[in-house]
Amino acid sequence: MTMPKEKRTIAKWFRYILPIILILIIVFTVIGYKRDSADLERQSRAALKKLLSCTLQQAEDFDAAAETTQAVMESAAAGGTGLTQDDKLQDYLIEQFSDSMTEACIEELAMNRTFYQSIALIKQFNSAIEASEIELVQCAGEQKGYSFSAELKTSAGDSVAAAKGIISMKKDEDRWKASHITLTIIQSY
């Protein structure tokens, strides 16, 4: 018993179309993976640039927010209730960094006083600090983590410090954000 001509034609089309469809699916999957990897690296650089770079105005804004928070902490330590705690510093940090870091990462960096390191350089050199030459090397066995190094320069282009550490990224909704950052800054003299 033979197949009718119409069914043979359909079977012939499937024989040619199915491999093409499978190849297209594989190609689009690979392209999507490469695009996601490029986005991961781009977002890692952006988060580090934002953390390590700071203008004089940003330093003043940070100090203003920190002073309010410090006054509240001193009041609570002196026997105040602490019920009127001002979250101005936390709000400032979230406003500045939430597009490139998770809230948990921002909180951890604040607790470790990591944000203060760029501010200290600005005060020491009375100049904006810019991160340049950010190099990322994917951590072994860690698809979403990089070890990094960067050079920190004044607005005049003078090298004042080198930064190194590790950044881990996490997908937050549809965007990659830093979920953990360790940082060491070594000043150049």
Contact (CB, 8 A) for 183 and 120:
no
How many residues make up the chain in this entry? Answer: 189
Joined together, the tokens standing for residue 81 give 């209730």
What CATH number does residue 28 fall under? 3.10.450
Domain residue limits at 72 = 5-187
DSSP 8-state assignment for residue 179: E
Total number of domains in the chain: 1
Give me the tens of pLDDT residue by residue for the chain, a chain 189 residues long.
555 666 667 767 777 777 777 776 666 565 555 555 568 899 999 999 999 999 989 888 888 887 765 554 554 455 544 433 447 888 888 898 999 999 999 989 888 888 888 888 988 999 999 999 999 998 876 668 899 999 999 999 999 999 999 999 998 888 899 999 999 999 875
* Nearest residue to 47 via CA among 127, 109, 116, 122: 109
Joined together, the tokens standing for residue 150 give 């960067």
Its pTM stands at: 0.70
Query: Three-state DSSP class for 135?
Result: strand
